[in-house]
Structure 1
Amino acid sequence: MSQPVTATSAEFPFKISVTDAQLELLRKKLDLVTFPDELQDAEWRYGVPLPIMKRLVARWKDGFDWRAEEKKLNDELPQFTRDIEVAVHGNLTIHYVHKKSTLETAIPLLFVHGWPGSFIEVRKILPLLLQTSEDGNFPSFHVVAFSLPGYAFSEAPKKSGFEAKQYGEIGHKLMLALGYNEYVTSGGDWGRIITQKMAQIYGGKHVKAWHTNMPSLGISPTLTSHPILYLQSLIKPLTAVEKAGLERSKWFNTEGRGYFAEQSTQPQTLGYSLSDSPVGLLAWIYEKLVNWTDAYPWTDDEVLTWVSIYYFSQAGPAASTRIYYEITHSPGGLSALGEKPPRIPMGVSYFPKELIIAPRSWVRTVGNLVFESEHSSGGHFAAYEKPNEIVDDLRNMFGRKKGKNGPAFGVVSGRNGFQPA
């Protein structure tokens, strides 16, 4: 039987340190690249354009300084590893970022990433969340962001059946090990699925509220399931923003979802290409970085840093795709998440270039929705694209402003994010 992790579990400081041999092998593989041909009028309709790939590969091979980027990540993000035991799956060494606010009563926040993201997504919001407010206008947070098992520098599961529940178990036991018996969560992509599962399992006693920037899963309210929402939907037509969201969802389901079919059915087959070919990995991820964001001005070095974390990951890039198979093949699949709506407070940030954007009445069937915020720009990687907006939403949800409490103010006992009165 799995034993609970305690605050005395061993924690080890961690620094990213890719070996010279790994860097040399990458360079050799880039030297041997064979590019495909391309139709004259292809542009982005067929995938990443050939001229862009040639430019990125040339930069990766000659000019991109991984050592400089590695140092920046190590300097900016306090990183650690810790062994966490998962029921049936045994111990896994988990990599995570953890930084405490100078304010002891700050709110413990667990940030959970997805694919093709990583712990790097917390990079921009971390310093903002740690800030304290002398005039009491916003709360401060203690921040934890772990690399999902099989991602970056976390060990990958060795057995099949590692589903949303197990990822949630990792996150929960990590928070307990760090001394946070009560905490709140925020996540997008698989991070949204995992934090929703955590809200279902640990909500109330440990998880006190959850926030997401990917409000994609919900059901159309019916007269029997959600009578008030159903009647409201009959009276109130969809807004222009909601109609645009449905169009975005239609695009994703018809033009952008091919990767999902492959990763959720035959991830091992795809894994040979992602593991052996850095150019293939670059194209596979870069396509999403462009198509899933809202005209975000990616620099070449940003892209290459993002992809290099996958290429140099402990388990290799193929391990990161198995989450699709495991969760979609779990009992009930993704739809099972809606069978037990969490009762704890839920907050949602809406961004127009998210992948699937349900009408607001659908989102309100997911849980106890107490906070909603609409944004005029931004996409799937909201914490990275729009860090100020995400942080403002978290502050407004959990804080207080001008004497008015946010809808989830004070949910964590003794830690409301402000100086004690």
Structure 2
Amino acid sequence: MQRIGYTRYYIQGGDWGAIIVGHMATLFPEHVIGMHSNMCQVMSPLSNLKTFIGAFFPSLVVSKEHRHKMYPLKEKFMFKLLETGYMHLQATKPDTVGVALQDSPVGLAAYILEKFITWTNPAWKDLDDGGLTKKIYPYQPAGQRDDLLGIQVYNDFDEIVFRNLQVPVTVPAGCAKFSYELNYQPDTILKEKYVQLVHSADYEGGHFAAFENPGVLAEDIYVFVEKAERAIKAESESL
């Protein structure tokens, strides 16, 4: 950003982008005005303890309206275990699966589209078409899914990433929480990391918010920026 002439800016990200903006906000707070994410995450001993306590006393951690997104804990854990086998494989043996997928376009499509099915709506895995004939992505006609055929590198997803999820973000932060996101965390937990959580909102939708609900996500970013600007102004006036 500095190379193209921007020394102060807002950042936004989901999925790997969420990890990137979290790193940027932590390492370069003097340049980041505020950060917005549709996959805000905290992974610390205290957040894990709160999540565990919430399994017995959920009202201490999450509202009744959103309780089903976190509990029963065993059910949520088993779902994550079922859905993250690819991550272990790509983190430990990326070249093995890479060779196989490179030689099979159909195999690559099946490998990637499976995630777009279950992470958009878990119930779609039981449909004959996996939900892919639905118009998940408003700007793109159903059946044209070429944009989805890309693969990411996971072998660097190691201790550094997890450690960063424990470091506080001090700049104004905003979180858009979609109902089928892989890991739902309420504000009572998010505020551990995002100490200036000026905006938080819940929406229907899945993990790929920029594809599934681009209008909703864009509007949420605008709302966050307005709140962040007001918070920054109020802070400057109080000095």
TM-score where L is the length of structure 1 = 0.45
* CA distance in structure 2 between the aligned counterparts of 1:265 and 1:280, rounded to whole angstroms: 20
For residues 338 and 289 of structure 1, the distance between their equivalents in structure 2, rounded to whole angstroms, comes to 24
Tell me if 1:238 matches 2:76: no
**Offset at 1:265?**
1.1
Rounded Cα–Cα distance in structure 1 between residues aligned with 2:100 and 2:232? 46
Which of 34, 44, 62 is matched with 1:209 structurally? 34
Q: Tell whether 2:201 aligns with 1:373.
A: yes
Residues in 2 aligned to 1:305 and 1:327: alpha-carbon distance in whole angstroms: 24
Shift of 1:284: 0.6
Deviation at 1:349, TM superposition (A): 0.4
Query: Does 1:407 pair with 2:228?
Result: yes
One-letter identity of the residue aligned with 1:214 = M
Q: Please give the alpha-carbon distance, in whole angstroms, between the structure 2 residues aligned to 1:250 and 1:239.
A: 20
Task: Tell me the alpha carbon deviations over residues 333-377 of structure 1, each in whole angstroms, 9 at most, x when there is no partner.
Answer: 4321134212111110010011111233121212221110111x1
Which residue matches 2:9?
183
Distance in 2 separating the partners of 1:373 and 1:366: 17
- The CA distance in 2 between the partners of 1:255 and 1:398, in whole Å, is 36
Distance of aligned partners of 1:341 and 1:178 in 2 relative to their CA distance in 1, 3 Å threshold: same
Find the aligned partners of 1:213 and 1:285 in 2 and give their Cα distance: 20
Counterpart Cα distance in 2 of 1:381 and 1:346: 20
**Could you tell me whether the CA contact under 8 Å between 1:220 and 1:362 is conserved in 2?**
no
TM-score normalised by the chain length of structure 2: 0.76
AA in 1 matched with 2:228: P
Distance 2:105 2:42 in 1: 33
Kindly tell me: are residues 206 and 297 of structure 1, through their superposed partners in 2, closer, same or farther at Cα, counting changes over 3 Å?
A: same
Asked if the contact 1:379/1:385 (under 8 Å) is kept, the reply is yes
Residue 191 of structure 1 and its aligned partner are, at CA, apart by 0.6
Q: Is the 8 A contact 2:43 2:166 kept in 1?
A: no
Query: What is the one-letter code of the residue matched to 1:304?
Result: D
1:100-119 counterparts in 2 under 5 A? none
Partner secondary structure for residue 348 of structure 1: strand
Secondary structure in structure 2 of the residue aligned to 1:208? strand
2:213 corresponds to which of 361, 373, 386: 386
Q: Deviations over 1:298-323 (max 9, x none)?
A: 4221x23321xx3xxxxxx5xx32xx
Q: For residues 251-262 of structure 1, what are the structure 2 equivalents within 5 Å?
A: 251-262=78-89
The separation in 2 between residues aligned to 1:340 and 1:216, in whole angstroms, is 11
* 3-state secondary structure, aligned to 1:367: coil
Q: Give the superposition deviation at 1:411.
A: 5.5
- Between the aligned partners of 1:250 and 1:240, the Cα distance in structure 2 is 20
Q: Mark the CA change 1:261 to 1:344 in structure 2 (over 3 Å): closer, same or farther.
A: same
**TM-align CA RMSD:** 2.8
Bigger fraction of residues in strand:
1
Identical amino acids, percent of aligned pairs: 28
What is the CA distance between 1:326 and its match in structure 2?
1.1
Are the counterparts in 2 of residues 210 and 345 from structure 1 also a CA contact under 8 Å? yes
Distance 1:182 1:334 in 2: 24
How many residue pairs get aligned? The number is: 207
Distance 1:237 1:207 in 2: 30
Give the number of the structure with larger relative contact order, counting CA–CA contacts within 8 Å between residues 6 or more apart.
2
Aligned to 1:340: 167
Contact conserved, 1:349 with 1:373, CA < 8 A, in 2?
Answer: yes
Deviations 1:383-408 (A, max 9, x none): 11111211111111112xxxxxx234
Task: Tell me what 2:139 maps to.
Answer: none
For the pair 1:196 / 2:17, whether they are aligned, the reply is: no
Provide structure 2 residue ranges, at least 5 long, that are not aligned to the other structure. Answer: 122-130, 137-141, 234-239
CA 1:409 to 1:387, structure 2 compared with 1: closer, same or farther past 3 Å? Answer: farther
- Structure 1 runs of 4+ aligned residues shifted over 6 Å read none
Q: Distance between the aligned counterparts of 1:252 and 1:263, measured in 2?
A: 19
Structure 1, unpaired ranges of 5+:
1-174, 311-316, 400-405, 413-421
| Change over 3 Å in CA distance of 1:344–1:179 after alignment to 2 | same
Matched, 1:362 2:186: no
1:268 and 2:106 equivalent? no
Question: Matches of 1:408 and 1:236 in 2, distance apart?
Answer: 31
Read off the aligned partner of 1:297 and give its amino acid letter. K
Aligned residues of 1:221 and 1:361 also touching (Cα < 8 A) = no
Letter paired with 2:143 = D
Structure 2: how far apart are the matches of 1:350 and 1:240?
16
More helix by share: 2
Q: For residues 379 and 235 of structure 1, do their structure 2 counterparts lie closer, same or farther at Cα, with a shift above 3 Å needed?
A: closer
Q: Which one of 147, 152, 160 corresponds to residue 305 of structure 1?
A: 147
**CA deviation profile, 1:104-123 (whole Å, cap 9, x unmatched):** xxxxxxxxxxxxxxxxxxxx
Q: Which whole-Å CA distance do the structure 2 matches of 1:385 and 1:336 have between them?
A: 30
